[in-house]
Amino acid sequence: MTQYQILPIDPHAHLFEVILTIEKPSGSELELYLPNWIPGSYMIRDFAKHIQWLKAESAGKPLPVRKLDKARWLVENTEQGAGQVEVRYQVYAWDLSVRGAHLDQTHGFFNGTSVFLAVKGEEESQCKVNIERPRGQAYKNWRVATGLKPAGDTQEFGFGWYLADNYDELIDCPVEMSDFRLISFEACGVPHHMALTGRHQVDETRLKNDLIKICEHHIRFFGEPAPVDRYIFMTYVLGKGFGGLEHRNSTALHCSREDLPLPCDDPEKVKDSYQTFLDLCSHEYFHTWNVKRIKPAEFLPYDTQQESHTELLWAFEGFTSYYDNLALVQTGIIPIKQYLLSIAKTITTVQRARGRLIQSVTDSSFDAWTKFYKQDENAPNAVVSYYSKGALIALCMDLLIRKLTNNQKSLRDVMLRLWQDFGQPQIGVERDSIQKITLEVCGGERQTELEQFFQLALYSTDELPLAELLKTVDMELVFQPRNDRNDKGQVKDEMPHNKPKPSLGIDYQTANLGITVKSVYWDSAACEAGISAGDQLISMNDLRIDNDEFTKRLAECEIGETVIIRGFRRDELMRFEVTLRPSAADTAYLVYGSEEKDQSPKLKQWLTA
Ligand code: ZN
């Protein structure tokens, strides 16, 4: 057994100290390593750089330690057979994210990938961890939230010994320690908890009731019993924050204070920010099946030392994104119109990304490590999100399967097959598994139509048949020029006729003087005139521009008019002659295609569980 002791030795200096004890070293050399990435977040993060020092000893005598590469150490245990080896090291923890480790006087959080060195060859043996309370009166009310199993006389949420069956489980169970608020409930008879750290107010009852609905919905979606015997949401509430990372029986979340429901909120309405938070909880919870148990073959097992490329993130993130807010409407937490608005916004997001014209979702999945996760100023032109386009592919598949089977089957039947054939027996999903299962679910009928759909949706950059498929549920999809800068898509009773406005084709943010260009869309008026990302634009037709004025002044111009824009590139003043173009029809409007509007039987059949 590999044994770890972790002590938040100096919260003010953000330091954890870890003692790793190897009871019976098997050879004269011990190789230790830390993962270079954390499963679920596909980027090399070199966690080992935060190990400040490391030393090893046996029976009180120091052992020589040699670094093999950025994340591997070799301990020379010449006295082999003499007894156990103890390795001691300190980890700097000041990464405020769900992916790393963070420690101060208000809380401690860590992923095993940041703090627990693996012992090569021992990855399959059981691990025991002693999670110690920081020293001092200030920490007497702290508790521990983790998916690890308490061992010995350790109380639930207490400091003390915990167990993991192997190293993979150890690094898949992050730990939160603080005086968190604890909300506990049961879903389908399984105990669930949400630990909320950080200053906040919350309507506990409302949050608890909504979480019960979501968790029970997902458990019943895949079928009881749940694959976990306990689940914990670890939520860090910040002034501004958003993010989550899925784990086998827990999730680490960041949210903004305003995302939580408040006792004074209108109980009849789910505010946008709260919907965002519930979407996130629902998303990470759905991952308990889709990616934590149903996995791409490339992740069985994970190679945490280097990039693991898979073409399938469109399914693991896309299907999860599709079902995260579908669960909210199917459980009645949000009304149909609010759900349709989310769909309109997702369609708009994909439509506005010019990268959809040059990158397929399978390529986006494969290259996630260097493209999606390392987006630069050219990302809008070069990258398509496998989350949002993947969600739209899921939407198309759901509606297409319903259409082809006369509503006898749906995408859920594909998910159930993935769960039964791959998730439960722990078999990796191959690149064509989902296509094969879908053909089988549809009973071999219309094989060509399905094969053409997959070719188009997964391997090409052609438009998805969204409009055609949304018609089958009585919705019309039309693309319109945006109404204003905040228009991200809408749901309408009647067909809109927005007029295009003069457009530059840039993304920007306000600067001290004028505006700073974040991105220039390829083939836009700004691109043609030579405006580039990073340029600080200060005047249009010799009048100063800032955020509001710029939008207003631009709206007063004519399409086809040439304006003179001046701005700085680095410290050099530049002059651009820009011929304004009509704004693109890139905003998705969903229009009710039947008299019954959101009471349409076809729409209700799809959107009620
Ligand atoms: Zn996800």
- The span from the first CA to the last CA of the chain, in angstroms, equals 46
CB of 114 within 8 A of CB of 94? no
Contacts of 258 (CB under 8 A, 6+ apart): 273
Q: Dump the DSSP string for 517-580.
A: EEEE-TTSHHHHHT--TT-EEEEETTEE--HHHHHHHHHHSPTT-EEEEEEEETTEEEEEEEE-
* Ligand 1 center from residue 287 Cα (angstroms): 7
* Ligand 1 center from residue 376 Cα (angstroms): 21
* Ligand 1 center from residue 574 Cα (angstroms): 43
* Ligand 1 center from residue 438 Cα (angstroms): 22
Q: What pLDDT, on a 0 to 100 scale, did the predictor assign at position 567?
A: 97
Residue 283 φ/ψ, nearest 5 degrees: -60, -55
Q: What is the pLDDT of residues 84-103, one digit of tens each?
A: 999 999 999 999 999 999 99
* Ligand 1 center from residue 284 Cα (angstroms): 6
Q: Which two tokens stand for residue 225?
A: 């019993």
* Ligand 1 center from residue 83 Cα (angstroms): 44
Q: What pLDDT, on a 0 to 100 scale, did the predictor assign at position 606?
A: 97
* Ligand 1 center from residue 283 Cα (angstroms): 6
What's this model's pTM, rounded to 2 decimal places?
A: 0.97
* Ligand 1 center from residue 233 Cα (angstroms): 14
DSSP annotation of 111 reads -
Round to whole Å and give the CA distance between 34 and 37.
9
Q: What pLDDT, on a 0 to 100 scale, did the predictor assign at position 442?
A: 94
Q: What pLDDT, on a 0 to 100 scale, did the predictor assign at position 548?
A: 74
**Angle at the Cα of 216 from the Cα atoms of 215 and 217, rounded to 5 degrees:** 90
For ion ligand 1, residues whose CB falls within 5 Å: 317
- Residue 31's identity, in one-letter code, is E
Q: Dump the DSSP string for 67-79.
A: EEETTEEEEE-TT
* Ligand 1 center from residue 148 Cα (angstroms): 21
* Ligand 1 center from residue 42 Cα (angstroms): 11
* Ligand 1 center from residue 462 Cα (angstroms): 25
- For residue 43, the Cα-to-chain-centroid distance in whole angstroms is 13
Q: What pLDDT, on a 0 to 100 scale, did the predictor assign at position 82?
A: 61
DSSP annotation of 202 reads -
* Ligand 1 center from residue 224 Cα (angstroms): 22
What residues of the chain score a pLDDT lower than 70?
Answer: 78-82
CB of 398 within 8 A of CB of 472? no
Q: What is the pLDDT of residues 194-236, one digit of tens each?
A: 999 999 999 999 999 999 999 999 999 999 999 999 999 999 9
* Ligand 1 center from residue 285 Cα (angstroms): 9
